[in-house]
Chain A
Amino acid sequence: MKCKKVLRLLPAYLDGEADEGRKSEIERHLAGCPACRQEFEYLKVDMELFAQVEVPELSPYLFTRTMAEIRNPERRRVPTGILVRRALAGAAAAVLVAAGVWVGSFLGGEIQGGSENGSSWYSVESEPSLEDLYGLALGENGNGDDGEVR
């Protein structure tokens, strides 16, 4: 197994989620690769750091408040004011949509073909490149290891 694949699988390996076959491949690789071993150590250190985040005490009133809320017969009744506001918001949205359709049909000729190249308006968040990980691993080594990726 190459470094690239090992680095990608290390977080799952650390979480005990790598299957047996891959686990032994990763372990064999780690035994012979100082750069990946170093990266694995960094990953463990990071996770230990996060394990130290303290959580404040739970309020003793949370339970009482939760059960009181559940037992409250008024809870599901929506106040009239909110119903009126919701109706007004719905009407406003309908007017905006109608206006949008009208403007769209008016300008339709001008924007036709604007997306001929098929490019998307949005970008999907992708995984960071493995170079990010290598860069980090190598940048933090600081031990003279050339960190060559095999």
Chain B
Amino acid sequence: MPDALDGEVREATGKEVVDLKRAPDPDADLVARSKKGDLCAFEELVRRHQRPLFSYVYRMLGNPDEAQELTQVALVRSWDKLKGFKGDSKFKTWLYRIATNLCINKVTRRKPTTELPETLVGPETEEPEAEYRRRQREQAVRAAIDCLPAEQRSALMLSMYDNMRYSEIARAMGKTVRAVDSLLFRAKVNLRKNLAAARRKGIV
């Protein structure tokens, strides 16, 4: 749909330039000190970013243990590669790019999920109806996310939970703004498809 997107993408690219000029990186000072080997400064960067980074990775992988491990790997790798960080983007965006690559590798190495489970897990114990419904809904949503291809999932998570603009997502994923727009469009259409069965059963 290039004709439909031309205006949108041009505009988004323009915003990207403006955003870069207007918004200084809040981590710039800590990054500069860390580059000189100041571990206290890097500790502060870890404190700032570990929670949102873990949330992003968890939403990508759906497994808390794997998410903890991969978050740690991403943070350690960011320290190792910090000297190569030129400040072309915010530190956060650069850190998320490292995590995104790790997540996409991990997801694509898994056995591909092509179908949603026909039946969702039922209540094992007698639990209140509302709690059971909530768990069913969460399982359906999780399954719908797990069926998304890794890059679509990544773009969606960065957009929804980390409130990144398309231009920032593009940097975090090493893509163009147009590619991000396309990934997000496909992700949202696929989510609708993936949720259709649960919706018919009244689960969501």
Contacts from A to B (Cβ < 8 Å): 4-5, 8-9, 11-12, 15, 17-19, 21-22, 42-43, 46-47, 49-56, 58-59, 62-63, 65-67, 69-71, 75-76, 125, 127-128, 132-133, 136, 140
- In the assembled complex, the CB of B202 is this many whole angstroms from the nearest CB of chain A, namely 13
The listed residue with most A CB atoms (<10 A of its CB), out of B72, B79, B160, B184, is: B72
Question: Residue A70 contacts which of B79, B145, B166 (CB distance < 8 angstroms)?
Answer: B79
Contact yes or no, B59 A52, CB < 8 A: no
Q: Report how far A54 CA is from B59 CA in the complex, Å.
A: 9
* Contact residues in A for B128 (Cβ distance below 8 Å): none
- The answer to the question of B64 belonging to the interface, with a C-beta cut-off of 8 Å to chain A, is yes
- Given A8-B1, A18-B8, A54-B138, also A46-B39 (CB < 8 A): no
Which residues of B lie under 8 Å from residue A43 when comparing CB positions? 188, 192
Interface residue B18 (Cβ < 8 Å from any Cβ of A): no
Contact at A17–B42, with CB atoms within 8 Å? no
User: Distance (Å) between the CB of A10 and the closest chain B CB?
Assistant: 8
Residues from chain B with a CB closer than 8 A to the CB of A66 are: 46, 50, 72, 75-76
The answer to whether A8 touches B55, judged by C-beta atoms less than 8 angstroms apart, is no
In chain B between 105 and 148, which residues have their CB closer than 8 angstroms to a CB of chain A? 137-138, 141-142, 145
C-alpha gap A46/B192 in the complex (Å)? 7
Contact A46 B4 (CB under 8 A): no
What class of interface size applies to chain B in its complex with A? Answer: 35 or more
CB of A17 within 8 A of CB of B76, answer no
- Chain B residues within CB distance 8 Å of chain A: 1, 4-5, 7-8, 10-12, 39, 42-43, 46-47, 50-51, 54-55, 58-59, 64, 68, 71-72, 75-76, 79-80, 137-138, 141-142, 145, 149, 156, 159-161, 165-166, 181-182, 184-186, 188-193, 195-196, 199, 204
Is B142 within 8 A of A67, CB to CB? Answer: no
Nearest chain A CB to B3's CB is how many angstroms away? 8
Docked-complex contact A58 and B50, CB < 8 angstroms:
yes
Chain A residues with Cβ below 8 Å from B166 are 12, 15, 17
